[in-house]
Structure 1
Amino acid sequence: MKHLFSFKNMLLAIFLVILIFSLTACGNNLDNDNSSEQNAVNEKPFKVGVIPAQNKGNMERAMDKLENVLAKALDRPVEINIYSDYQGVVLAMKYNKIDMAYLGPLTYVQVNNDTGAQAIVTQLINGEPFYYSYIIVPKDSPLNSIDDLVARSKELNFAFGDINSTSGSLIPSIQFKKLGVYIDQENHKFKNITFTGSHDITALAIQNKKYDAGAIDSAIFNQLVKDGKIDGEKIKVIWKSEKLFQYPWAVVKQTDSETIKKVQNAFLSIKDPDILDVFGATGFTLAKDSDYDAIRKAAKETGRLD
């Protein structure tokens, strides 16, 4: 019996050793699986959608550089896509096709309302996070003020930018509504209304006298003049809005705080003129949702936000 007991003890010891090795192996495999999953997350591209602020060629060169800046900060691949219109970016964020978007203030409050996306960064113009809506006309136009424009509206072809643009559509349309010459694209007192789709197209159209007047983002207008893409001597500004808070970069609602901080720090570090110039910016600063309350109010007043 003594030998039998020893044999049983030996078998039990062997079994325990095998069990320990098995559990250790499983633990290692689990750790490897977790590590693989984490690596997979890190390798998944951080996708960014951008509205068309200027012509696509200029923006593509700048966005290639911005991809590198963000990829280094996040330690993962970054893909930035320039959409053909504002609505494309809105839908991409709404249906979780992108992680972050560069939006106009109007499109931001719409996306925030629909998805809970949050503004985290915006650009600085001469050290301030503000810009304006301009109404521009050819230099030799007899129009010298918005009152002149309203008085002669029935003779004029007017160009808005993108229909979802804050400075190129929302703000000037509110001003025209107050002055009694505009309700919407079908109900107005102009000879003709056009939406050009982008600020640079509007500027060139006014310079070339294709339209009598147009609405444009002040920062982009000034940058186009600075870069020689339009001739500032051939255009004059006849109206300037109140201050508007600059275009936000917004992340989807579920973005973790660590990622947000890394993205913010990456933007704050940007000094590359190729990136800054495409936005007419002198730098970047932090932004928050409440910065866009005035735009949110305007959007509600015009029926563009529930």
Structure 2
Amino acid sequence: MRKFFQGLAVGATVLAASVLSAAPVMAQDVINFGVGLYQPDKDKNDATYTPLAQYLEKKLGKPVKLRTVDSWEGLAKSLANGETDIALMGPWGYVLANNESKAQAVATIEYEGKPEYFAIMVTNPKSGINSPADLKGKTFAFGDKGSTSGYLIPFHFFQKQGINPDTYFSKVIYTKHQAIETQVAEGTLDAGADYNRNRDAMIADGLIKAQDSKIIWTSDPLPNDAVAVSETLYKDKAFVEKLQAALIGIGAELKKQPNLLPPRYTGFVKKDNSYYKPIRDAGLATGRLQPK
């Protein structure tokens, strides 16, 4: 009889374990929404993305706390250490986060109806620089090392050309995208790496003049910024589907509330980790990404 009850106890334990393992992981009460520093300063960035956070809060039925993180590397790390649950982040930052903490892309932002953009190199038209071949001995700026267009893709380009930036340029700096465009337009920096969306926005906002900025190199199309969720949150499939539906619904919602996204951003499209393979391949090729 004792063996019978012991058998029942073991069976109940196994059954309970199987039920628990099959149960969905429930999302936490407060969702921490991390956003990269897309705007010139944190206050403007927070103001720009607060409507999106409020929209998500309404659609997800949970408080959404917005936090601006001033570097792509920092945002990737915040996903890994649990400070961020959902992030709107650059492609390279996303690949880093996926590699380090298994964060997962669930959507991609669209710019003028397209889920892709371009890395560029810019100079001042008065510099006499017409192509990357003219950059030897010049000053050059990369974005931070978690940036796709500001660092990874131009670095990969230089690598394929047999160029070591540390010896090829007279000086290399790492700074923000907006600072690169401003210094190039002022003529205090010979050239730098950026992305077409940022240059377009700065010209439209009057932060730089089009006649003071010239593109001398453009990359192949790159996947736009990702909306990624932490590994823990990704296990809650019902929540992920609800989040994707909310993001896809923004396209129609913009007609009623244009400030949900910055100008020229037109919505989101459902994408997953495989969409960011070109960025991952570039990271592996440059040695900047170590497979785990």
Question: What range is the shorter-chain TM-score in?
Answer: 0.7 to 0.9
Query: In the alignment, which residue of structure 2 is the partner of 1:140?
Result: 126
After superposition, the C-alpha distances for 1:22-73 in whole angstroms (9 at most, x for unaligned) are xxxxxxxxxxxxxxxxxxx888210011121222233111221112101101
Corresponding residue number in structure 2 for 1:290:
274
Q: 133, 138, 157: which one pairs with 1:175? A: 157
Which of residues 244, 250, 257 is equivalent to 1:264? 244
**Superposed displacement of residue 170, structure 1:** 0.6
Equivalent residue number for residue 303 of structure 1: 287
1:241 aligns to 2:226 (yes or no): no
User: Contact conserved, 2:122 with 2:213, CA < 8 A, in 1?
Assistant: yes
Give 1:204 deviation, angstroms: 0.8
Q: Is the Cα–Cα contact under 8 Å of residues 54 and 199 in structure 1 kept in the other structure?
A: no
Contact 1:136 1:239 in 2 (8 A): yes
1:215 lines up with 2:193 in the alignment: yes
- Structure 1 counterpart SS, 2:246: helix
Residues in 1 aligned to 2:200 and 2:47: alpha-carbon distance in whole angstroms: 20
- Report the counterpart of residue 8 of structure 2 in structure 1: none
User: Residue by residue, what CA displacement relative to the aligned partner does 1:158-208 show, whole Å, maximum 9, x if unpaired?
Assistant: 01111210100011111112223225xxx3310000001x21111111111
Q: Are 1:160 and 2:142 an aligned pair?
A: yes
Where does structure 2 lack aligned partners over 5 or more consecutive residues?
Answer: 1-25
8 A Cα contact 2:33 2:64, kept in partner? yes
Counterpart residue identity of residue 102, structure 2: G
TM-fit CA distance, 1:266: 2.0
For 1:192, the equivalent position in structure 2 comes to 171
Which of 105, 118, 124 is the matching residue for 2:104?
118
Structure 1's unaligned 5+ residue stretches are 1-40
Counterparts of 1:69-108 in structure 2, within 5 Å, are 69-108=55-94
| 1:122 and 1:249 in contact (8 A); partners too | yes
Match of 1:189, as an amino acid?
Answer: Y
Q: Percent identity?
A: 32
1: CA distance, partners of 2:198 / 2:265: 9
CA distance in structure 1 between the aligned counterparts of 2:65 and 2:157, rounded to whole angstroms: 38
CA contact (8 A) 2:88 2:226 kept: yes
Q: Secondary structure at the match of 2:130?
A: coil
- CA shift, 1:269, in A, is 2.5
Structure-1 separation of matches of 2:217 and 2:113: 23
Q: State the AA in 2 paired with 1:50.
A: V
Structure 2 residue identity aligned to 1:248: A
Q: 2:143–2:177: 8 Å Cα contact kept in structure 1? A: yes
**Aligned counterparts of 1:109 and 1:66: Cα–Cα separation in 2:** 23
| Structure exhibiting the larger radius of gyration computed from Cα positions | 1
Contact 2:73 2:145 (C-alpha < 8 Å) held by counterparts: no
Which residue type is aligned with residue 54 of structure 2? N
Task: Please give the alpha-carbon distance, in whole angstroms, between the structure 2 residues aligned to 1:93 and 1:231.
Answer: 37
Give RMSD over aligned pairs: 1.7
Change (3 A) 1:177 1:66: same
